[in-house]
């Protein structure tokens, strides 16, 4: 359990550790300005507690108690820029002070240690964002979007995170929630005051409203599978016989020399893995050793590893040497992969061709001809990969795209309960109380998604994944 104390002033290094131009030590809490007063010496001799909000100031970090000493007697830790952001208009809705130091582990640690000595405590992972949530600046879905932005591997994943942080998902879920509350109020009015003249329940009208809400949730859930792909990416394996151009293809897709390429078969003796961005999709692509009858123990292990990656892959790029006829080893791979998500690639089109593309087209839905060495038709292959992932679906830029598994599960539970409530309207033997309870349970799931209802265990699970300082 995190056992957070919101009355504490917390501090942490908010930038990655290592050599860089700038590193930031961040403080948040009621004593942030008080601590800054003790250790910051501004050029104009004013204290941070006197600074206006959203202002930056040049000065030095010095050991507490040295502020009044003459310059030559002060122990200066670092030359810095200090920024003040006063509550409630700050990231955490608390007083926030950020100290922009010179990048580097020694300077940052020295400043952080000084901040901790003077009254702050070290922040837990994600505690700044958790305070933003607990203090009501953002909801839980928006808080989780912060981590999605940090971990985004492509522009598309980043865009999803930004839209969620701006509240696009929260607004849509809130509209659905408001619609369910309206329906629930109609049902409970009839439950609580059956003898009053408020009119009988219009089952058909309520069913229509529930069906509309159900359709809205289904639409969001249908786009969620693409959101998961854009967030986490997919595994794609390049496989084929030795010397067909697997490593050359990896280099062509990466647009850099990552794999060693030689005219000799068996150069790649192990798997090589990289992440590339193809049409906004994070592709975790693996170049495997050639699938052949192994000649020694090393080749045997390499081939076994290649086969393991192929079995686990979401998609396989099966590459052939177009300048040579298909042989027994090619046939074995074709048989193994014909029922898997496979794109057949005929390489070396710059040479005289001995493979009929039409023959492969009878087995595989996608057959692309390329020259990996000369980077010809690589764009066509990228488009084919994207088409297989999206399966011809076009995701509107205005669509609300779920990418977080917790959000998907919460919305799926709510959708099933709403669908059940709508279907129950056709059953005259079921009481209004039963239908109302389904709607209450659906609302609870939506409240969990937004963080209106939460447990300490849930917060632990979410924010422990954050880095310290965010």
Please give the Cα distance from 145 to 404 (Å, whole number).
9
* Same domain flag for 411 and 384: no
Summarize the confidence of residues 103-120 as an average pLDDT: 93
Looking at 106, 135, 164, which one is the last position of a domain? 135
pLDDT digits (tens, 9 = 90+) for 375-421: 899 999 999 988 888 775 555 545 577 888 899 999 999 999 999 99
Mean pLDDT score across all residues of the chain = 84
Summarize the confidence of residues 201-222 as an average pLDDT: 89
pLDDT digits (tens, 9 = 90+) for 278-315: 888 888 888 876 555 544 454 556 566 667 777 777 88
Residues 6+ apart with CB under 8 A from 29: 7, 8, 9, 10, 94, 95, 120
pLDDT at 266: 45
pLDDT digits (tens, 9 = 90+) for 254-275: 886 654 443 434 444 456 788 8
Place 356 in a pLDDT band, splitting at 50, 70 and 90. confident
Q: Is the torsion defined by CA of 202, 207, 213, 215 positive or negative?
A: negative
Q: 34 lies in a domain?
A: yes
Range of the domain at 242: 234-390
CATH number at residue 126: 3.30.1360.120
- What percent of the chain lies above the pLDDT cut of 70? 84
pLDDT at 258: 53
- What percent of the chain lies above the pLDDT cut of 90? 42
Q: 173 lies in a domain?
A: yes
Summarize the confidence of residues 21-43 as an average pLDDT: 94
Q: 440 lies in a domain?
A: yes
* Same domain flag for 339 and 259: yes
Higher pLDDT, 347 or 393: 347
* Same domain flag for 277 and 305: yes
Q: Which residue has the tokens 């005289």?
A: 352
pLDDT at 259: 44
* Same domain flag for 251 and 364: yes
pLDDT at 110: 93
Q: 4 lies in a domain?
A: no
CATH number at residue 277: 3.40.50.300
Distances (CA, A) of 263 to 245, 247, 266: 9, 11, 9
* Same domain flag for 380 and 273: yes
Instruction: Locate 297 and state its tokens.
Output: 């123990």
Supply the pTM of this predicted model: 0.77
Decide if pLDDT at 173 tops 50.
Answer: yes
Total domains in the fold of the chain: 3
Please give the Cα distance from 159 to 169 (Å, whole number).
13
pLDDT digits (tens, 9 = 90+) for 432-446: 888 899 999 999 999
């Amino acid at each position: 359990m995190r056992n957070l104390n919101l009355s504490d002033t917390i501090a942490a290094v908010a930038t990655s550790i290592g050599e860089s131009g700038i590193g930031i030590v961040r403080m948040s809490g009621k004593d942030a300005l008080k601590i800054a007063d003790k250790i910051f010496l501004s050029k104009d001799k004013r204290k941070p507690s006197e600074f206006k909000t959203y202002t930056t100031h040049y000065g030095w970090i010095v050991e507490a108690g040295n502020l009044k000493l003459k310059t030559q007697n002060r122990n200066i830790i670092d030359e810095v820029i200090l920024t003040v952001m006063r509550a409630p208009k700050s990231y955490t809705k608390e007083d926030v002070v950020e100290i922009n130091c010179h990048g580097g582990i020694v300077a940052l640690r020295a400043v952080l240690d000084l901040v901790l000595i003077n009254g702050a405590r070290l922040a837990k992972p994600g505690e700044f964002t958790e305070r933003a949530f607990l203090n009501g600046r953002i909801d839980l879905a928006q808080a989780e979007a912060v981590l999605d932005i940090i971990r985004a591997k492509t522009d598309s994943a980043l865009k999803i995170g930004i839209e969620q942080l701006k509240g696009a998902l929260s607004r849509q879920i809130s509209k659905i929630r408001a619609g369910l509350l309206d329906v629930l109020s109609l049902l409970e009015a009839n439950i609580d005051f059956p003898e009053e003249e408020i009119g009988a329940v219009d089952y058909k009208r309520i069913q229509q409203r529930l069906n509309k809400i159900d359709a809205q949730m289904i639409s969001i859930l249908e786009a969620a599978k693409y959101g998961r792909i854009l967030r986490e990416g997919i595994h794609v394996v390049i496989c084929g016989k030795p010397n067909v151009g697997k490593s050359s293809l990896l280099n062509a897709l990466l647009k850099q020399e990552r794999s060693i390429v030689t005219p000799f078969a068996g150069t790649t003796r192990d798997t090589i893995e990289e992440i590339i961005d193809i049409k906004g999709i994070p592709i975790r692509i693996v170049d495997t050793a050639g699938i052949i009858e192994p000649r020694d123990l090393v080749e045997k292990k390499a081939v076994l590893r290649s086969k393991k990656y192929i079995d686990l892959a979401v998609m396989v790029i099966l590459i052939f040497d177009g300048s040579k006829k298909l042989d027994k080893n090619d046939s074995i791979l074709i048989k193994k992969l014909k029922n898997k998500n496979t794109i057949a690639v005929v390489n070396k089109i710059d040479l005289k061709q001995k493979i009929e593309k039409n023959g492969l087209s009878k087995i595989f839905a996608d057959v692309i001809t390329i020259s990996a060495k000369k980077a010809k038709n690589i764009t066509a292959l990228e488009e084919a990969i994207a088409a297989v992932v999206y399966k011809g679906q076009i995701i509107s830029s205005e669509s609300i795209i779920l990418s977080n598994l917790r959000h998907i599960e919460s919305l799926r539970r709510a959708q099933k309960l709403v669908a059940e409530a709508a279907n129950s309207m056709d059953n005259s033997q079921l009481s209004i109380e039963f239908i109302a309870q389904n709607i209450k349970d659906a609302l609870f799931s939506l409240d969990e998604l937004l963080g209106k209802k939460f447990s300490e265990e849930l917060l632990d699970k979410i924010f422990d994944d954050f880095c310290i300082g965010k």
